[in-house]
Structure 1
Amino acid sequence: MMLRIVTLLIDLLLLAQLALAGKTHEFNFTTGWVARNPDGVKERKMIGFNGEWPIPEIHINKGDRLIVRLTNGFDDLPTSLHFHGFFHRQADENMNQMDGPPMVTQCPIMPGDTYVYNFTVVNQVGTYWIHSHSGAQYTDGMRTALIVHDEDEPFEYDEEKVIQIGDHYHKPYYEIMDEFLSRYNPTGAEPIPQNILFNNTVNASLSFKPDTVYLLRFINVGNFISQYLYMEDHDFTIVEVDGIYTRPNTTSLLYLAPGQRMSVLVRSHSHANKNYALMQIMDETMLDAVPPNLILNRTNHIIYNEDAPRASEYYIDSFSAVTNDFFLTPLAGKELLSDYDYQISLDVKMDNLGDGKNYAFFNNITYVAPKVPTLITALSAPEKLAKNPAIYGENVNAFVLEHGEVIEVVVNNYDDGRHPFHLHGHNFQIVQKSDAFDEDDAEPVPYNEMAPLMPYPDIPMQRDTVVLEPNGHIVLRFVADNPGIWFFHCHVDWHLEQGLAAVFVEAPLLLREKEVLSQSFKDVCSTGNYTLSGNAAGHDDDWLNLAGLPRQPKPLPDGFTLKGYIAFAVSCIVGIWGILTIVQYGLSESLQNDLDMYQNLKKLLDDTSGER
């Protein structure tokens, strides 16, 4: 009898441990091109999984394990997968190798090869998404929502809806990239999308029932354009931002930049005699030009009554009512990290280099991927050199962080464009977030620690993606308590491809104690002929030897600037036009002379003939 009781208790204990451990969700995905027509204007190839696009949403619960086997089904393109917003923090092991950006935390997955992403979601809940981190592949549809449900959500609702918004291009990303990063685009004008999508289509609809509370999870999965969201005659109550629960904040207008997520509660009306517009509006200030056929104002529909007329297009007269995330407050907010240990100051600039192309810079350095993934360098370097930034390469923008330090990141914008910056592996406190200074004659306004523009918040908002305004600045703080190699970059993917990125090498000695490279990691590196040891230039015999390191192009020759290129181009056009005009005039004058000569000769012959 006692043995049966003991056995029963052991079984119950095992069941309890399994329950606490959570469920394991396994997915086998193969990338590939799928013909689709998302906006109803032009059919094109999108990137799907297993021949399916749109890619289905993934829903898991807090504490669950996620296993994704990603097979590269492309013929000639490497790929990867990033779990946007996840920390990959586990008590018994580090999972930095699951973060996704190639040449940062893994080798690229080559055609035909498979990489296994395998990790537990610990103490994170809310709205996330997955996307390729190779080239600008997610622009072509390699993305989907990933929702982590929480049985202890601090708000109540009746139904949940996930809404992905984004921009849409008719050309594949690699063709757009070739045109964008070109000497024939010296100003760096970003590619203008042909449309914006709502759940991977246009003119979409959501069904509402009367007297119902809806949780709407908005995710901007686009490459470039930020969007406003407005629901006619309804209010949004913000309750979560980038996986952080917030104190309820009611507003009529939302703003989401690429990479950002926002969950809101919406209470439906008690009647069902009318349908309403749900507007998504491009932030046209991000565009260098607005083509006449570009639809900036897209109408989606809240359907209460299928028999009632669809809502009409709704126009926003002013965007001043939009919520500023600086003034949101986390529900379980942490007090301001008042004293930083290490300040990283980054100046954003866009400029041309000697090849004529326009690049993006942090402190005059444009990110160029090393020959060896930075994670491999951190794990394989001699212990005495693991904290030396030099071994990670001068074009990686590497900053080494000590464990437990309070890190302050200051980003000053010397550009007149908006930049949503995303940090891997952490949420950060937003300590300062200036307004835009985007008038015609506006000068950049860098952060002045002695005279901040805004009062420091007692309990700052936390998130993982924040917008840096034109010519303005942001100040972010976080605790370096998650050893790993963490990418910090602009989530306008065109700007990332221009090099607007840095790498935080966090507590590399602690990382080496817990990070064990999987066999899948090693196999993928082997297929791509990447070494498992070496500095950024691939050397492991002399760790300070950076011969052969990939570097940014040399500067423009003296006297050549962006304005110089433009002036030169205009001069060439004017000169060619002038030459053509002269030639045309000369040809026309010559033809007229020939005609006159012919007429005179004919008259002379006629006169002579008459005399005979």
Structure 2
Amino acid sequence: MAVRARPIDCNGNHSLPYLDLDPNLTYRIRVVNTGSLAGFTLRFQEENLQLIQLDGGIDVEPQSQKSATSAGILFPGQRMDLILRRSPEVDDQAPSSLTIDLDQGCFKYPNPALTPSHTFPIYYNNPSIPESNINPSAPAPIPNDTFHIDIERASSTSSLLASIPAKAQQTHVVYTKIEKLARLSNIPYGFFNRTTWKPQADPPIPLISLPRHQWDRNQLAVVTGPEPEWVDLIVNNLDEGPHPFHLHGHNFYVLFIHKASIGWGSYNPFQDAFPPGLSLPSASSDPEYTPYDLTRAILRDTVQIPSRGYAVLRFRADNPGVWLFHCHIAWHLASGMAMVVDVLGDIEGEWAHSALNL
């Protein structure tokens, strides 16, 4: 990143950053996508990866594939922890590299100035390799994928999944989209239902310090009530592009994600008999029946919801506060693609419950 203290001349010749590793050591690497738009994938040429955690310390079920060389896609706001090992079949003196590939799903139009793939050399601190032979400016060999870890298909460990109830005690439905409206001068604004979020301004006091009847019209809220309860939040993305959504204050289980091949692909359990994208169930009188495969759920705090799709998120509303739920693409949040989740507050303002189900 170019900053004032460290400018980057894109037309000049500069040494590539590189990794200096010891072939006899195992490394734990935490990768954070601090970008404002695109996801990315990491690809290693001569190293094996093991995914162990997502989103800052949430354990995942160990992968059966032991020779993975790439992992992703990691979307804005998401994190992953990897164990990195030099492949035992590779000579310690063999060159290696790391390639970072940007996900093209967020780029609607071609950009000739964009280089979506960057490769960086990896050097090993091996006494048999003279330091004079290390040339950071030399082009690095491009990795060839052998096996890939799709982190969107990972599941949490069985101990984490054991706490998911078959049914939630509350269900809330929201729809999100960026729209240009004449009443807003045709400027793009992000919406949840019919509300585009802005910080509380009238009066300009933190929401948690105000009774709900004094919140201004820019605050759409899911109100979970005064007691801890399990909540299903169904988020319908009506946009032609995906959105990475992040919830503050809580982790949530991602029970199901669906992208429609045609139409909008939204889901409203108050109107639809069954979630789109799932196989129709056989008749069941079991009151604990759930259409979701809870053994494949993943606990996260940021989820990528595809265009014209939806996600079913289940969380335990037990952390008191007024928490922001928002798109992690910077200008989508700035445009108002956010809402709040009011947890363990007072029961005043039940209008918020019903408004979400319109």
- Please report the TM-score for the alignment, with normalisation by the length of structure 1: 0.47
TM-superposition CA deviations, 1:453-494 (whole Å, max 9, x none): 354223621011111012111110111111001000000011
Residues 283 and 380 of structure 1: is their aligned pair in 2 closer, same or farther, counting only changes over 3 Å? closer
Matches within 5 A, 1:42-441: 203-242=16-55, 243-249=57-63, 250=65, 251=68, 252-270=70-88, 271-304=91-124, 307=133, 310=138, 312-314=140-142, 321-330=148-157, 332-335=159-162, 336-354=164-182, 355-371=185-201, 376-381=206-211, 388=212, 390-402=213-225, 403-434=227-258, 436-437=259-260
The Cα of 1:321 is off from its aligned counterpart by 4.3
The Cα of 1:290 is off from its aligned counterpart by 2.4
Asked whether 1:466 is paired with 2:303, we answer yes
Residues 412 and 208 of structure 1: is their aligned pair in 2 closer, same or farther, counting only changes over 3 Å? same
TM-superposition CA deviations, 1:563-582 (whole Å, max 9, x none): xxxxxxxxxxxxxxxxxxxx
CA distance in 1, matches of 2:252, 2:82: 21
Structure with the larger strand share: 2
- The DSSP-based 3-state class of the residue aligned with 1:254 is strand
Residues 380 and 329 of structure 1: is their aligned pair in 2 closer, same or farther, counting only changes over 3 Å? closer
Matches within 5 A, 1:12-23: none
Supply the RMSD in Å over aligned alpha carbons.
3.1
Residues 341 and 481 of structure 1: is their aligned pair in 2 closer, same or farther, counting only changes over 3 Å? same
The Cα of 1:291 is off from its aligned counterpart by 1.9
* 8 Å Cα contact 1:220-1:258 kept in structure 2: yes
TM-superposition CA deviations, 1:479-516 (whole Å, max 9, x none): 11110010000000111011100011111249xxxxxx
* 8 Å Cα contact 2:52-2:61 kept in structure 1: yes
Asked whether 1:35 is paired with 2:4, we answer yes
Match of 2:318 in 1: 481
The Cα of 1:235 is off from its aligned counterpart by 2.5
Match of 2:281 in 1: none
TM-superposition CA deviations, 1:200-232 (whole Å, max 9, x none): x99321112113211011000111111111111
CA distance in 1, matches of 2:318, 2:15: 43
- The DSSP-based 3-state class of the residue aligned with 1:503 is strand
Which range is displaced more, 448-457 or 419-428?
Answer: 448-457
TM-superposition CA deviations, 1:209-260 (whole Å, max 9, x none): 1132110110001111111111113222110101212222254332111110
- The DSSP-based 3-state class of the residue aligned with 2:295 is coil
Residues 334 and 315 of structure 1: is their aligned pair in 2 closer, same or farther, counting only changes over 3 Å? closer
CA distance in 2, matches of 1:339, 1:431: 12
* 8 Å Cα contact 1:284-1:290 kept in structure 2: no
Residues 367 and 411 of structure 1: is their aligned pair in 2 closer, same or farther, counting only changes over 3 Å? same
Opposite residue 494 of structure 1, the aligned amino acid is: W
The Cα of 1:311 is off from its aligned counterpart by 5.6
The Cα of 1:330 is off from its aligned counterpart by 2.9
Match of 2:356 in 1: none
CA distance in 2, matches of 1:353, 1:461: 37
Structure 2: gaps spanning 5 or more residues: 279-291, 350-358
CA distance in 2, matches of 1:373, 1:334: 42
Matches within 5 A, 1:511-590: none
Percent identity over paired residues = 27
Opposite residue 36 of structure 1, the aligned amino acid is: A
Structure with the larger helix share: 1
CA distance in 1, matches of 2:156, 2:15: 33
Match of 2:284 in 1: none
CA distance in 2, matches of 1:282, 1:207: 23
Larger-Rg structure: 1
Residues 502 and 380 of structure 1: is their aligned pair in 2 closer, same or farther, counting only changes over 3 Å? closer
- The DSSP-based 3-state class of the residue aligned with 2:294 is coil
Residues 315 and 238 of structure 1: is their aligned pair in 2 closer, same or farther, counting only changes over 3 Å? closer
Matched positions, count: 311
CA distance in 2, matches of 1:313, 1:432: 38
Residues 291 and 240 of structure 1: is their aligned pair in 2 closer, same or farther, counting only changes over 3 Å? same
CA distance in 2, matches of 1:283, 1:469: 13
TM-superposition CA deviations, 1:114-171 (whole Å, max 9, x none): xxxxxxxxxxxxxxxxxxxxxxxxxxxxxxxxxxxxxxxxxxxxxxxxxxxxxxxxxx
TM-superposition CA deviations, 1:528-548 (whole Å, max 9, x none): xxxxxxxxxxxxxxx9xxxxx
- The DSSP-based 3-state class of the residue aligned with 2:112 is coil
CA distance in 1, matches of 2:329, 2:101: 17
* 8 Å Cα contact 1:214-1:265 kept in structure 2: yes
Opposite residue 62 of structure 2, the aligned amino acid is: P
- Please report the TM-score for the alignment, with normalisation by the length of structure 2: 0.77
CA distance in 1, matches of 2:238, 2:15: 35
The Cα of 1:422 is off from its aligned counterpart by 0.4
Residues 221 and 296 of structure 1: is their aligned pair in 2 closer, same or farther, counting only changes over 3 Å? same
Match of 2:286 in 1: none
Residues 379 and 412 of structure 1: is their aligned pair in 2 closer, same or farther, counting only changes over 3 Å? same
- The DSSP-based 3-state class of the residue aligned with 1:259 is coil
- The DSSP-based 3-state class of the residue aligned with 2:186 is coil
The Cα of 1:379 is off from its aligned counterpart by 3.2
* 8 Å Cα contact 1:273-1:308 kept in structure 2: no
Opposite residue 215 of structure 1, the aligned amino acid is: R
- The DSSP-based 3-state class of the residue aligned with 1:478 is strand
Residues 391 and 264 of structure 1: is their aligned pair in 2 closer, same or farther, counting only changes over 3 Å? same
* 8 Å Cα contact 1:392-1:398 kept in structure 2: no
